[in-house]
Amino acid sequence: MFFRAENMLTFATCFYFKTLTRMKVAVVGATGLVGTVMLKVLAERKLPISELLLVASERSVGKEIVFEEKSYKIIGLEEAVSLRPDIAIFSAGGETSLAWAPKFADVGTTVIDNSSAWRMDPTKKLIVPEVNAHELTHEDKIIANPNCSTIQMIMALAPLHRKYGIKRIVVSTYQSITGTGVKAVRQLENEFEGKKGEMAYPYPIHKNALPQCDVFEENGYTKEEMKLVRETKKILNDHTVSVTATAIRVPVVGGHSESINVQLGKPFEVSDIRKLLHETEGVTVQDNPATNVYPMPIYAQDKDDVFVGRIRKDETVENGLNMWVVADNLRKGAATNAIQIAEYLIAKKLVNASFLAKA
């Protein structure tokens, strides 16, 4: 019988999970938009959790959240550190992570952080599991989850870089309001209903497109655009790749979309690109212009794969390629990627040995 490689990995991982005796997991930022999705993904992927700690800011302490038909009380950061979880998955903002991730690491917890706090720290790994999880070791106690728009782009481009080499990337992103958070979702809902309310953006987002994601840096690019530049080079471990980006916020809920133009280092055939991407774990090719098949965020929502279509040669430059890449930014762009890192750590026995002692 024929098995795809990722199915064999999933089987092996599930078998390994069954041998675990206990694991204590903390979700920091459990009440936020990404935190809520993290709990959903944790339930779906059946991590071997014997004790779950739901952590949030002081104003949420004492509130209750239901997870898999069981009610959990929100606890504060101090208490969570004292309970020494084996893994802590952070989605509570950069300042919280900078202040608290080292405290968790000091008590032996492995932290997987979804903020931008540690991504460009040269002492921390920036991980997309399908691309560079092999870099992780037992010594990595704070692991950075890349930016959502970077993750989906890297998923599509890493296999091309391995086979052909990439010289230059020009990317324009069309990013969901969910990347900004609950406040932005409310702004869109209020504007759709004709209500006045708190503004997440300096302009209306309903029936609009804002050419600004995050704040502007001195070079005229936004922080979001420079994340795509800097994080791509770090994950690919290749600083010779040229990257330029424009990030746009659009009134979409389902996920982020990206128009990507790539100049490869070697000649290629479009059919070979499609085949390579089709064989890439975590990537789904949707590319049949004759029947109007291409990725769209409305269909990517609540899915973990990265969807690639509109694959075609750029006839204006040597070895040029265009593609359209879509993914749910709250799942593969955030929660799912973080939890996949946790799965890899567990499978490779790279987390705190206390809960693996009887495995």
User: What residues are annotated to the active site?
Assistant: 148, 256
User: In this structure, what token pair is assigned to residue 279?
Assistant: 């064989």
Whole-number Cα distances in Å, 83 to 16, 73, 76, 88: 25, 14, 11, 11
Phi, psi of 51 (to 5 degrees): -145, 125
Q: Considering only CA atoms, which of 153, 181, 162 is closest in space to residue 243?
A: 153
Whether 206 and 191 have beta carbons less than 8 Å apart is answered as: yes
3-state secondary structure the chain: CCCCHHHHHHHHHHHHHHCCCCCEEEEECCCCHHHHHHHHHHHHHCCCCCEEEEECCHHHCCCEEEECCEEEECECHHHHHHCCCCEEEECCCHHHHHHHHHHHHHCCCEEEECCCCCCCCCCCEECCHHHHHHHCCCCCCEEECCCHHHHHHHHHHHHHHHHHCEEEEEEEEEECHHHCCHHHHHHHHHHHHCCCCCCCCCCCCCCCCECCCCCECCCCCEHHHHHHHHHHHHHHCCCCCEEEEEEEECCCCCCEEEEEEEEECCCCCHHHHHHHHHCCCCEEECCEHHHCECCCHHHHCCCCCEEEEEEEEECCCCCEEEEEEEECCCHHHHHHHHHHHHHHHHHCCCCCHHHCCCC
Phi, psi of 157 (to 5 degrees): -95, -25
At position 159, the amino acid (one-letter code) is: P
